[in-house]
Amino acid sequence: MVKIPKRISTAILNSLSAGVVPRIGLEYIAVGRKDEIEAILEDLENIAEGGAAFRFFIGRYGSGKSFLIQLIRNYAMDRGYVVADADLSPERRFQGGGNKGVATFRELMKNLATKTRPNGNALAAILEKWISKIQARVMTEAGVKPRDPRFTELVEGAIMVAINNMKEMVHGFDFATVIATYWRGHRLGDDEMKENALRWLRAEYPNKTEAKKAISVSVIIDDDTWYDYVKLMANFVVELGYKGLLVFFDEAVNLFKITHTQARTNNYEALLTMFNDTMQGKANHIGIFVGGTPQFLEDRRRGIFSYEALRTRLVESRFAKNGIKDVSGPIIRLGTLVIEEVFVLLTRVMDIHAAHYKYDVFLTDDDLKEFIKVIVSRIGADKLLTPREFVREFITILNILRKDPEKNFLEIIHGKDFKPKPAVSVDESVEGTKFEEFTL
């Protein structure tokens, strides 16, 4: 029986039952995607060397986009990267009125995470680590102790040198000023000063007047500048000793759902800027990963391909067709898992379920194969299946059998009441779909 901490098995089973991706424990259920993962690991190596990466993860709902994002996120944290993620929504975009861009930046800062702070809100911890690192360096290189009268002066000098390196970047001067303010708060033991600096870095000041009053900086992070500060943060975390910053945007289909043509175009222009920066070497130590559906990418009326500047950059080679997979380009398409991979996935889920509820596994390999066969036949075709449908239905049956051991697994899956359905997808059609909730 698999050995897994209770808190992790709880998160896995609860998340999978609800059709969402768990934030922890993904290594226990990861199957397939070997080529895709190897390609992303090459990206991480390039980022650590000062390069940049941009990838689209494209797949139907439930195909594993969010799973792959979380898997890479956790892998990167364990290996010395800082990560940040945000789900796009009607209120969180790349551009848009009503601080929609700022809302996305705030979500990224809230979810900023490291190996020691995997659940987010790591900004303060990152700054404290930076200060501690410089203090340790001063003690080693200058041979002074914290009680030495020169210690504070030497540390401040080292901090100013590090900050000055950022001033040449776009908005670097203001960023450096805020970092210096945090240092002063640390040196003076002034928690309010430190919190004011953190509020500015999290884009929480509503206007310039309030920011200047609190922190003596006459600008704020806004819809037009937030991405520049993401790039600054990438360079800053490298100064602290991290390998780089990975930024994940999931649910990008919400950009496709924007009904106003110009508003949608503005968001695609923002994506183009990010793409060009990473591809042309204008950004360093940063990886940007975007998860979306095929229609979000390919629709020539409202999708990415409706914006010609992006379409010409992203259009795939005519050789990467008819089953030939190419993961070297910016688009990684996530197809369905093969039956053998689904079998391994269900086996792992069953083992976790048995370990969590402390019972002996009672289903055989033939039972699992029959379950897969029934799911495929009742939905209609294996090309319509995604891991989400398999797993959610399977966990439901395991829960039923745990509560009522007298029931028979095969009778349940062959019963007339067992009618699995594919996940609803906007990929089927958008004609007649209403998007009133998406306000401008």
**pLDDT tens column, 398-426:** 998 888 888 888 888 887 766 655 544 43
pLDDT at 439: 35
> Within a domain: residue 265?
yes
> Within a domain: residue 402?
yes
The partner residues of 290 in beta bridges, in order of sequence, read: 56, 249
Q: Give the confidence band of 180 by pLDDT, cuts at 50, 70, 90.
A: confident
> Within a domain: residue 433?
no
Query: What average pLDDT score do residues 146-168 get?
Result: 82
The residue segments making up the domain with residue 68 are 33-114+242-333
pLDDT at 323: 55
pLDDT at 92: 96
DSSP one-letter code for 422: P
Q: 207 and 246, same structural domain?
A: no
Of 279, 314, 333, which one is at a domain's C-terminal end? 333
Of 333, 364, 391, which one is at a domain's C-terminal end? 333
Q: 365 and 326, same structural domain?
A: no
Q: What is the number of domains present in the chain?
A: 3
Q: 176 and 150, same structural domain?
A: yes
Q: 314 and 351, same structural domain?
A: no
365 near 395, Cβ under 8 Å? Answer: no
- The CA-atom distances, in angstroms, between 295 and each of 60, 303, 305, 422 are 9, 6, 9, 17
Q: 416 and 360, same structural domain?
A: yes
The angle that helices 387-403 and 6-17 make with each other, rounded to 10 degrees, is 110
269 near 400, Cβ under 8 Å? Answer: no
Q: What are phi and psi of 240, to 5 degrees?
A: -80, -10
> Within a domain: residue 229?
no
Q: 393 and 345, same structural domain?
A: yes
Q: 199 and 259, same structural domain?
A: no
Q: 191 and 170, same structural domain?
A: yes
Q: Tell me the pLDDT tens digit for each residue of 266-309.
A: 999 999 999 999 999 899 999 999 999 999 999 999 999 999 99
Residue 133 has pLDDT above 70, yes or no: yes
> Within a domain: residue 417?
yes
Q: 149 and 80, same structural domain?
A: no
User: Which strand ranges, in their side-by-side order, compose the sheet holding 245-250?
Assistant: 82-87, 245-250, 286-292, 52-58, 331-333
> Within a domain: residue 104?
yes
Overall residue count recorded for the chain in this entry? 440
The mean predicted confidence, pLDDT, of the chain is 86
pLDDT at 32: 78
d(CA 168, CA 255): 33
Residue 260 has pLDDT above 70, yes or no: yes
Residue 440 has pLDDT above 60, yes or no: no
Residue 7 or residue 63, greater confidence? 7
> Within a domain: residue 327?
yes
Residue 155 or residue 104, greater confidence? 104
pTM equals 0.82
pLDDT at 417: 66
Q: 136 and 109, same structural domain?
A: no
Q: Give the confidence band of 378 by pLDDT, cuts at 50, 70, 90.
A: low
Chain mean position to CA 184: 33
Q: 192 and 160, same structural domain?
A: yes
pLDDT at 322: 54
d(CA 27, CA 25): 5
- Here the CATH number for the domain that contains residue 247 is 3.40.50.300
d(CA 111, CA 136): 28
Give alpha helix (H) positions in 189-241: 191-201, 208-215, 226-239
> Within a domain: residue 249?
yes
Residue 434 has pLDDT above 50, yes or no: no
d(CA 278, CA 287): 8
- CB neighbours (10 Å) of residue 98? 12
Q: 364 and 299, same structural domain?
A: no
pLDDT at 380: 54
- The CA-atom distances, in angstroms, between 112 and each of 82, 92, 115, 123, 299 are 7, 16, 11, 7, 32
Amino acid identity, residue 409? F
